A and B are shown apart, each in its own frame.
Chain A
Amino acid sequence: MNILRKKSAANLPFSETVIELFIRLCGLSSIIFVFGIFFFVFREGAGFLFNGLGLGQFLTSPEWYPTSLSNKRYGTFALILGTFSVTALAMCIAVPFGLGAAIFVSEFCSPKLRETFKIIIELLAAIPSVVWGFIGLTLMNQLIITVFNAPIGLTMLNGSIMLALMSVPIIVSIAEDALKAVPDSYREAAEALGATRWQVIYRVLLPAAKNGLLAAVLLGAARSIGETMAVLMATGHSVNIPSGPLSWIRTLTATIAAELGEVARGDEHYQVLFIIGVLLFTITFVVNLIADLVIKGIRQE
């Protein structure tokens, strides 16, 4: 034991340098990857972005005719609306359920039940998105037709339910961590003042954990915006300005996934799909930035 320790102590300066260098590289790699990815995606689309594609038309026209023989039009307005509407509806479903489940797990559960619960939630998170898509395509499709008497069940609502189910595990686990991080002394103090359980949660825990809860919701939303396969299968994949939960829509991610496989490389259409990639990148960036600013604002209060 002694000898071993001496040996490693003798090697310390060298191994220390190597390990430090390695860790430094790991830290830098994420920055390099993010910028590298952005650069390469941007480069594929840049030619057409600056030369031919009207950015105004790209963002505001709902006409998506990438393969028209007579009049090609690349308007993504309907796709952007599709992405946002399906995400918003998914959050309307997922946030109450996710936060509710998190409160239940952290405040009401017995330790044994909590362990079981967490395992099951992790299991929910482990289901691949294509399986969710399949459930949406078959089971949920039929259910929506029966319940809402809709002509077809492949709708925004269907996609939103799938997305909600996929983002609930994320929201639950992060929100639960945030609630757990609230010191017990807060709860004890509140109870000592005669607060009911509901008052403790509503007046003390939720305000105290709001940073973490907000992060949980935004991460859930980010998951929904980026999700591809499930929305491709469940939303009907139709270029449509959404008019309600039962209208069928198409998202930015699904468009890339469905069309990139068959375009000729370097084609205008190919470049436009990469510009959509840049757009998605920008959207996620803005969501994160807002989250950062909001959290900072809360901290300063």
Chain B
Amino acid sequence: MEKYGWAGYTIICILVVLACGYVITGCSPKDGESTAGEAAAQVIIKNKGSDTMVNLAQAWAEMYTGITSTASVEVSGGGSGTGVAALINGTVDIANCSRQIKPKELEQATQNTGKVPQEFIVGYDALAVYVHHDTPLNKITIPQLAEIYGEDGTITKWSDLGITHTNCPSDKIIRISRQSNSGTYFYFREALLGKTRDFELGSLDLHGSKDVVEVIGRTPCAIGYSGMGYATSHVKMLEVAIADDAPYYAPNLENVLAKTYPIARPLYMYSLGEPTGEVKAYLDWILSAEGQKIVEKLGFVPLANN
């Protein structure tokens, strides 16, 4: 009889995973108290969404808690889609999103809560193309990247890029990517391939911005993309050109602000309806010079007018 017990156990394990996903997409669980210890009389601003932005949102929340006594901010990640889902259910005050909200989601949120989500661009994220620091390659073009990542792409070996990669005996390019519904994946795919072509299957689809850089740092044959702020000493960021005959630009503050670096995207925050009270104060502070300083500190790119 024990056999059934174990089989059931396995099934339940799987279903718990399903159920968790269900809960996450369906309704927002009570967020972890990331800024715990504040008095109960304060207004609590609930902030949820993009994994790319979670460190940034956390840093803002911590800083903001220090300068105000009337509000505290609860931050949790889970992904852009998760944040928007919570916004649709009306369980968060601000959703973080590393992509723009979809028309369908906007409509759902309006229908469900009676309020129209308002969009705020709070900074920029440059996606850097990373390789292992031993790779004898310093620059790459968008068309080359498209052939590396795109379906039926023609570049599969390092020698196809015109280099001899001595630390990668197999010469095969190992493509590191993200799980197929992350905001980063969507953005990178569109920047490379537009809306009609897909990525070639067989890439390693990792689960977080940090994991990508971590794995590339251990893998000489690898190439991958992740936020500019995640660079470590084991990896190298490539300079990128929009076309074969265009100039190359390194992923750094100046180039992103000048809009010359080709793969940078805005980071969004969405509030339910026109923000009021503490939420408005918080968003205003984020957009202020002080809030934008934190953006820069965490390796993202602040808004141009600051």
Contacts and interface: CB of A to CB of B under 8 A. Distances in A.
Interface stretch (A104-112, A182-190, A225-233): A225-233
Given A222-B10, A256-B18, A240 B202 contact: yes
Contact of B78 (A151, A257, A261, A269): A261
A145 B218 contact: yes
Contact of B172 (A34, A62, A70, A151): A151
Contacts of B6: 170, 219, 222-223
B82 A262 contact: yes
Nearest to A288: B7
A237 B195 contact: no
Interface string A200-233: 0000000000000001001100110110100011
Given A259-B180, A264-B105, A237 B14 contact: no
B206 interface: yes
A60 interface: no
Describe A's contact surface by its main secondary structure.
helix
A152 B221 contact: yes
B197 interface: yes
Contacts of B206: 237
A41 B18 contact: yes
Interface residues of A, number: 65
A10 to B, nearest CB: 35
A270 to B, nearest CB: 7
A102 interface: no
Contacts of B26: 265
Interface stretch (A13-21, A47-55, A92-100, A274-282): A274-282
A267 B215 CA distance: 32
Nearest to B11: A284
Nearest to A149: B169
Interface string B198-213: 1001111111000000
Interface string B62-99: 00000000000000001111100100000000000000
A170 B8 CA distance: 15
Contacts of B172: 151
Contacts of A233: 207
Contact of B10 (A67, A149, A151, A225): A225
A258 interface: yes
Contact of B182 (A154, A262, A265): A262
A192 B4 CA distance: 39
A36 to B, nearest CB: 10
Contact of A67 (B15, B18, B25, B181): B181
B222 interface: yes
B25 A219 contact: no
Nearest to A37: B15
Nearest to A215: B3
A219 B168 contact: no
B170 interface: yes
Contacts of A174: 2
B10 A262 contact: no
Contact of B204 (A66, A149, A237): A237
Contacts of B198: 65, 68, 70-71
5 contacts: A152-B218, A269-B181, A270-B25, A273-B21, A284-B7
